[in-house]
Amino acid sequence: MKMRQTKNPEKLKLAFYWAASCGGCEIAALDIDEKILDVVAVADILFWPVAIDTKYKDIEAMEDKSIDVCFFNGAIRTSENEHMAKLLRSKSKVLVAFGACAHTGGIPGLANVGSREEVFNVAYLDNPSTENPNKITPKTSIKVKEGELTLPEFYDTVKSLNQVVDVDYYLPGCPPSPELISEAIDTIVQNKLPPKGSVLAPSKSVCDECKFEKCEKKISEIKRIYEVKEVDPNKCLLEQGIVCMGPATRGGCDARCLNANMPCTGCGGPTPESSDQGAKMISALASILGVKDEEKMDEKEVEELIEKVRDPLGTFYKYALPTSLINRRVMK
């Protein structure tokens, strides 16, 4: 990628922020290697807590729209995440949901199967590795002799960035590939951004980028990758009975996982024509699962067939539960 300076000699103003995520997107931003020098040549980074010493008060003191582009990674799990999402939205001309967690909720979104109390119970109370005789759980504030200590509120529900603020663009992946990041930055520098709301990745599916040969699929059993002694390098993983999210997942990653003989897990989010990534994959899997005399199957046989898919929620909605039609478990 050759980045070009815009006609305006003034440098672009960029910001990066890390909300509820693992931090992989922060590392991915550096995976563009020497191209980071091109970025420095045309842009100043005003805010990047993980890399430079800037404070929230520095952002709060800025005029609105002082930041040209903000790359916001991570889901919204706490009141602090929400506050920063709203603050950076007001200070940024362009807000990019950077990575799967900001884009679709990501792996943190799987916590939507439980409540805050259930999460705290597992983490702090009913846990064999935790010694907590006084049953203390996090609180938003506590008085100590030095004054009052505070923590952000931990929400019941994990949300994607666009469920909290208006988002201009989406850069998918867990994390986004260096190629997608480079192309996105180049597009920004050259002022060639697509229409608002676009996903900055190809419209094709992961299957379109996959190296495996595909033919008419029909399988009689479902396996996890570790249950297959030797993967056939010339045959689609689905045709080998391995659940692969490729048909339901947007490409742009160059099928990296499949190049390593590992199935796609869906981090690119749904394909453009799909409103629910998990539902699309379930439908695709149902269409290739060979079952004889389906109409004659009794309830037990149906249950046995369903049980072949271990952890269906984590398989079909690993990265996109908060933005799916299901969204979360209903809490009473």
Q: Which of 41-45, 55-59, 225-229, 262-266 has the lowest mean pLDDT?
A: 225-229
Q: What integer pLDDT is reported at residue 102 of this predicted model?
A: 98
CB of 86 closer than 8 Å to CB of 109: no
Query: Each residue of 247-279: b (16+ CB within 10 Å) or e?
Result: bbbbbbbbbebbeebebbbbbbbbbeebebbbb
Q: From CA 288, how far away is CA 65, in angstroms rounded?
A: 50
Q: From CA 144, how far away is CA 51, in angstroms rounded?
A: 32
Average pLDDT over residues 133-145: 94
Q: Which two tokens stand for residue 168?
A: 């201009």
If one compares 107 and 33, the residue with the highest pLDDT of the two is 107
Coil, strand or helix: which one is 248?
A: helix
Which of 110, 121, 107, 88 is closest to 14 using CA atoms?
88
pLDDT in tens, 282-318: 888 888 876 655 566 667 766 777 777 889 999 999 9
pLDDT at 103 over 70: yes
What is the 3-class SS of 195-233, one letter each residue?
CCCCECCCCCEHHHHCCCCCCCCCECCCECHHHCCCCCC
Average pLDDT over the chain, rounded to whole? 90
Q: From CA 286, how far away is CA 315, in angstroms rounded?
A: 14
Average pLDDT over residues 79-100: 98
Percentage of the chain exceeding pLDDT 90 = 70
CB of 171 closer than 8 Å to CB of 220: no
- Say what the pTM is: 0.90
Sheet strand arrangement including 43-47: 43-47, 12-18, 67-73, 92-98, 169-171
Task: Name residues whose C-beta falls within 8 Å of residue 230's C-beta, 6 or more positions apart in sequence.
Answer: none
At residue 60, what is the residue type?
E
At residue 188, what is the residue type?
I
pLDDT in tens, 194-213: 999 999 999 999 999 999 98
pLDDT in tens, 212-255: 988 776 777 888 888 888 888 888 999 888 999 999 999 999 99
CB of 303 closer than 8 Å to CB of 309: no
Q: What integer pLDDT is reported at residue 292 of this predicted model?
A: 55
Domains and CATH numbers, the chain: 12-108+157-189 (3.40.50.700), 112-155 (no CATH), 206-316 (no CATH)
Task: Name residues whose C-beta falls within 8 Å of residue 19's C-beta, 6 or more positions apart in sequence.
Answer: 72, 73, 74, 75, 76, 77, 81, 84, 85, 101, 102, 161
pLDDT in tens, 15-24: 999 999 999 9
Average pLDDT over residues 153-174: 97
Please tell me the number of Cα atoms within 13 Å of 174 on its side-chain side.
25
DSSP-assigned states of every residue in 10-21: SPEEEEEEE-BS
